[in-house]
């Protein structure tokens, strides 16, 4: 047995060594074992362009805790990793590289451009998976997938074609969210609505018959060039007489009708709504209801089209807005302008203001897919943790619109449809189409668009397991056990996986969805490049070690809630690991050779029975919390047990036996130390795998590595409520004596006399039988009495666990010096108390200060009053 650990724990000497050992030894490898229960997690695939950020670190740490725990419990545990091709982000990255060479993708052509993207992916695409290894992620890397690898691509094509054949995929002109910078459509849930300062422009629309005008209010005057109607509410008395009449569109001269539609809000603006079907989603629906023409005045480059008129054609949309406003002013048609703050849609990728526009795109009909996904959540086939996220999920699915799945990119899964320019027919096919099956033309061309990245990731739980092939992995591991993900992608990803799983596997893709929050900075803000408040996990691992980062993230986690990153908490996690390391060093140095457990339980002392009972409770509680996905609470239980009960109490209580006990007493102490430390390392391993594996190697060098050990089972025979109660009372007494020593400034190395008065026979027997524990931990000589004829003079006094405690101070402290110190401290407290009471006695302060400030001052007053009373009592006791 290697009995010694280095004096200080250095993660740099440990983490890389053990990760290589685990990976090379295939300890992460999952196999299909029918006699075992499967447990499977599919990793939310990070973008191939990405680098590890704190959100990834939290998400993957939680997954790793669960997978290591289930693996130790004997499950066939598979954590399936992979990366996403990230269509928009990856293409943008490669195009930026081309720009440095003075090239565009069009200079290369589609085929050569894609060759460059694949080369980029091979060179840079493994950055984040390398970083996940630094974190300790115990994924089955032999099964690593990529959303555009051959198997996933086959699955994507098959799903598209089956949906197409069922009539659930169609192509049509529809209003979409267009990003002029990324030059592609983005979905509704990829639009971030930001409160933006703008203006509300009131514009006069003259009646054709010259009888007056209608005033409309708009935030986007440049779109008026595409207006094809003005709508009013059918019950609005102000405009009822105008319904059916004709207006003349300012600056353009086009005649447009006044129509009645229930959508119009009579309270907003003037109650009259300009209708631009080509550039507003609500106007688009109005246009469909009233068969209005659609005039597209803003192009894909966010510049005005020929339809906008020669004066405005080619202008940027913002330049056009200024010119339109100037022209309206000149013609006397701009009534007024008001400041307005309103929500403006931005692209979540590049932060460009999106442009709603009519475009011909591919869509998935969502209602037939959404209904089974709604039912699965309602009947409990899929469960959200915390449960409140079920409502959010259901609300989105119940109000879902058809999903626009086409993107105007080259990098991605190309839509498997070929169009014939000669006969106009379209053909969806699993194989390349070289001739039009309708007219025989050889001029067929494949659709240029690719599928939304989220389309391929929606298939992730079954495409990664081999679908559409009937693989052993698919049969065994699907449905997966739990999805661990952030609350911010419930719509992007979670819901889509559920309806795709039901549609193609006939079963939900996972039984439970464990939602965690976001990692915020110390001020509660989202981490972002623009704020410069991000924290690099790799830098943290370099400075503190992966285990410290993992433990800090886990202990601060409650399901569904956001987590603030504090470096003080990170230091606290590192201190905990150092505490475990030092305690383990102590145990290893004192194990000796006689470590066999005693034959008779009676050989155990009270402290032994107490720590074994507390250990059994730690096993039970941490296991129960993990079962409930309360990962943070499980970690807290172990933290409290190890730091407080094992390190600060049991190890201190056992030292006298290790140093001065009989061989039999030492054997008992050593066996308990070994059992509890070994069990504790197994409990901690999922949370802090590196340091626990290193300590285990020294504790049990001939055994299987810790990663392959079993999770501690419940041992009911260890439960000892009586020992816990008795030790609890002794700890209370010891703490009280220690408190007196600290408060009275008794020098740490000076031995004291402690008088314990215990009228109750049970209490008296407890302190008499365990006098050695008290004397060892308070550095004193203990006298036990039923009662005292007279209270000791100049003795500090306390009551704990029904026992009166006296600590005579004669010979322990310098009374004169202590009186002077206390008097000085009492004077300072009195002055501060007077200042606070003066502030609270000021009616203006109480009336005008914020309530939380007043409450803080009142709390300070109460604390100072208590302190003043305590100090005065001590001075009196000292004479």
Mapping DSSP onto H, E and C, the string for 413-444 reads CECCEEECCCCCCEEECCCCCCCCCCCCCCCC
d(CA 832, CA 575): 35
| Residue 571 CA: distances (Å) to CA of 53, 361, 542, 642, 690 | 19, 52, 13, 17, 17
- Residue-level pLDDT at 596: 53
Do residues 205 and 216 lie in contact, with contact meaning Cβ atoms separated by under 8 Å?
Answer: yes
φ and ψ at residue 402, rounded to 5 degrees: -55, 145
Outline where 715-850 has alpha helix (H). 721-743, 761-769, 771-778, 815-840, 843-848
Ordered by start, the domain boundaries in the chain are 40-148+461-540, 184-356, 541-719, 724-813, 816-877
Peptide bond into 844 cis (omega under 30): no
- For strand 184-186 and strand 403-404, is the pairing parallel, antiparallel, or unpaired? unpaired
| Class for the domain spanning 816-877 | mainly alpha
| Class for the domain spanning 184-356 | alpha beta
Residue 202's closest CA among 326, 323, 338?
338
d(CA 176, CA 404): 8
Q: How far apart are the first and last CA of the chain?
A: 59
Name the CATH topology of 541-719.
Isoleucyl-tRNA Synthetase; Domain 1 (1.10.730)
329 is in an annotated binding site: no
Outline where 232-305 has alpha helix (H). 281-290
d(CA 79, CA 477): 10
Do residues 387 and 394 lie in contact, with contact meaning Cβ atoms separated by under 8 Å?
Answer: no
| Residue 782 CA: distances (Å) to CA of 67, 550, 805 | 51, 45, 10
d(CA 406, CA 415): 8
- Token readout for 635 is 């970690």
pLDDT tens profile 415-462 = 999 999 999 999 999 999 999 999 999 999 999 999 999 999 999 999
Task: Look up residue 33 and give its DSSP letter.
Answer: -
- Residue-level pLDDT at 601: 44
Do residues 199 and 219 lie in contact, with contact meaning Cβ atoms separated by under 8 Å?
Answer: yes
In our burial notation (b when 16+ CB lie closer than 10 A, e otherwise), range 382-393 reads bbbbeeebbeeb
Strands (E), 466-543: 480-486, 510-516, 519-520
* Full-model pTM: 0.86
Domain 40-148+461-540 in CATH 3.40.50.620? The answer is: yes
- Cβ atoms within 10 Å, residue 769: 13
Q: Which residues fall within 8 angstroms of residue 436, CB to CB, at 6 or more apart?
A: 418, 420, 422, 423, 425, 427, 442, 443, 444
pLDDT tens profile 51-108 = 899 999 999 999 999 999 999 999 999 999 999 999 888 998 999 999 999 999 999 9
Residue 106 burial (10 A CB sphere; 0-12, 13-18, 19+): exposed
d(CA 722, CA 738): 24
- Token readout for 606 is 């009270």
- Reported as type and span, the H/E element at residue 194 is strand 191-206
- Cβ atoms within 10 Å, residue 261: 17
Peptide bond into 468 cis (omega under 30): yes
Strands (E), 425-582: 426-428, 445-446, 450-451, 480-486, 510-516, 519-520, 563-564
φ and ψ at residue 716, rounded to 5 degrees: -55, -30
| Residue 37 CA: distances (Å) to CA of 76, 143, 170, 473 | 6, 19, 42, 13
Q: DSSP letters of 235-256?
A: T-TTTGGGTT-EEE-TTT--EE
- Token readout for 275 is 């209708």
Average pLDDT, consecutive stretches of 10 residues, N- to C-terminus, the chain (879 residues): 78 96 97 96 92 92 98 98 92 92 94 96 92 97 96 97 97 90 81 89 92 91 95 92 93 95 90 94 93 94 94 95 95 93 85 90 95 96 95 93 92 96 94 93 95 95 97 97 90 92 97 93 84 90 97 90 92 97 95 57 84 98 97 97 96 92 90 96 98 96 95 96 95 90 83 87 90 88 83 81 85 76 86 89 87 88 86 76
Do residues 793 and 820 lie in contact, with contact meaning Cβ atoms separated by under 8 Å?
Answer: no
d(CA 417, CA 414): 9
């Amino acid at each position: 047995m290697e009995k010694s650990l280095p004096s200080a724990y250095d993660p740099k000497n440990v983490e890389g060594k053990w990760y290589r050992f685990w990976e090379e030894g295939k300890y992460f490898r999952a196999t299909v074992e029918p006699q075992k229960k499967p447990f499977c997690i599919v990793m939310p695939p990070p973008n191939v362009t990405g680098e590890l950020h704190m959100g990834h670190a939290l998400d993957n740490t939680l997954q790793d805790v669960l997978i290591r725990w289930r693996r130790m419990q004997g499950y066939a545990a598979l954590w399936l990793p992979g990366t996403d091709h990230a269509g928009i982000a990856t293409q943008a990255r490669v195009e930026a590289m081309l720009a440095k060479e003075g090239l565009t993708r069009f200079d290369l052509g589609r085929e050569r451009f894609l060759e460059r993207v694949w080369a980029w992916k091979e060179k840079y695409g493994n950055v984040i998976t390398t970083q996940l290894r630094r974190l300790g992620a115990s994924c089955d890397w032999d099964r690593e997938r990529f959303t555009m690898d051959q198997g996933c691509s086959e699955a994507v094509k098959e799903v598209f074609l089956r949906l197409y054949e069922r009539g659930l995929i169609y192509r049509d002109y529809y209003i979409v969210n267009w990003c002029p910078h990324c030059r592609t459509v983005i979905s509704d849930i990829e639009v971030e609505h930001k409160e933006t300062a703008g203006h509300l422009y009131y514009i006069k629309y003259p009646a054709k018959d010259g009888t007056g005008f209608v005033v409309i209010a708009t935030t986007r005057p440049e779109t008026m060039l595409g207006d094809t109607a003005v709508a009013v509410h059918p019950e609005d008395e102000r405009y009822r007489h105008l319904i059916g009449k004709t207006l003349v569109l300012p600056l353009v001269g086009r005649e447009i009708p006044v129509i009645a539609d229930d959508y119009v809000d009579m309270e907003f603006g003037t109650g009259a709504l300009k209708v631009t079907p080509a550039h507003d989603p609500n106007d688009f629906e109005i246009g469909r209801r009233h068969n209005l023409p659609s005039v597209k005045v803003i192009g894909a480059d966010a510049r005005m089209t020929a339809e906008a008129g020669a004066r405005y054609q080619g202008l940027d949309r913002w330049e056009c807005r200024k010119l339109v406003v100037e022209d309206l002013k000149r013609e006397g048609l701009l009534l007024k302008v008001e400041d307005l703050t309103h929500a403006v849609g931005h692209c979540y990728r590049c932060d460009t203001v999106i442009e709603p526009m009519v475009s011909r795109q591919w869509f998935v009909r969502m209602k037939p897919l959404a209904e089974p996904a709604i039912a699965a959540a309602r009947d409990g086939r899929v469960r959200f943790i915390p449960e409140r996220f079920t409502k959010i999920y259901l609300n989105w699915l119940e109000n879902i619109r058809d999903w626009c799945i086409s993107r105007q990119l080259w990098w991605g899964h190309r839509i498997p449809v070929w169009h014939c320019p000669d006969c106009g027919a379209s053909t969806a096919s699993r194989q390349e189409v070289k001739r039009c099956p309708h007219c025989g033309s050889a001029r067929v061309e494949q659709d240029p668009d690719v599928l939304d990245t989220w389309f391929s990731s929606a298939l992730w739980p079954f495409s990664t397991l081999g679908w559409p092939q009937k693989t052993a992995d698919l049969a065994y591991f699907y449905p997966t056990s739990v999805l661990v993900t952030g609350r911010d992608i419930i719509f992007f990803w979670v819901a889509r996986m559920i309806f795709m799983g039901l549609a193609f596997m006939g079963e939900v893709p996972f039984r439970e969805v464990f939602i965690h929050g976001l990692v915020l900075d110390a001020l509660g803000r989202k981490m972002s490049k623009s704020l410069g408040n991000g924290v690099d996990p790799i830098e943290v691992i370099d400075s503190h070690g992966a285990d410290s980062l993992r433990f800090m993230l886990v202990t601060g986690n409650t399901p569904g809630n956001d987590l603030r990153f504090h470096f003080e908490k990170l230091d606290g996690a590192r201190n905990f690991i150092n505490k475990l390391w030092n305690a383990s060093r102590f145990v290893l140095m004192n194990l000796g050779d006689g470590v066999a457990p005693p034959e008779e339980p009676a050989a155990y002392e009270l402290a032994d029975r107490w720590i074994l009972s507390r250990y059994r409770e730690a096993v039970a509680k941490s296991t129960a919390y993990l079962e409930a996905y309360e990962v943070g609470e499980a970690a807290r239980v172990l933290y409290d047990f190890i730091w407080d009960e094992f390190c600060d109490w049991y190890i201190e209580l056992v030292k006298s036996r290790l140093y001065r006990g009989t061989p039999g007493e030492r054997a008992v102490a050593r066996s308990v130390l070994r059992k509890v430390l070994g069990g504790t390392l197994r409990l901690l391993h999922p949370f802090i795998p590196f340091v626990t594996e290193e300590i285990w190697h020294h504790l049990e060098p001939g055994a299987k590595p810790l990663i392959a050990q079993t999770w501690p089972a419940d041992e009911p025979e260890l439960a000892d409520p009586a020992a816990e109660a008795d030790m609890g009372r002794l700890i209370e007494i010891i703490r009280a004596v220690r408190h007196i020593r600290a408060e009275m400034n008794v020098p740490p190395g000076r031995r004291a006399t402690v008088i314990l008065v215990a009228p109750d026979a049970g209490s008296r027997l407890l302190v008499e039988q365990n006098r050695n524990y008290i004397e060892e931990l308070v550095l004193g000589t203990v006298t036990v009495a039923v009662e005292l004829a007279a209270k000791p003079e100049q003795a500090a006094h306390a009551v704990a666990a029904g026992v009166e405690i006296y600590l005579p101070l004669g010979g322990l402290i310098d009374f004169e010096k202590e009186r002077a110190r206390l008097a000085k401290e009492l004077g300072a407290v009195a002055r501060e108390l007077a200042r606070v009471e003066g502030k609270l006695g000021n009616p203006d302060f109480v009336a005008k200060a914020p309530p939380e400030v007043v409450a803080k001052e009142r709390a300070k007053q109460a604390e100072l009053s208590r302190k003043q009373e305590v100090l005065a009592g001590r001075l009196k006791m000292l004479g």
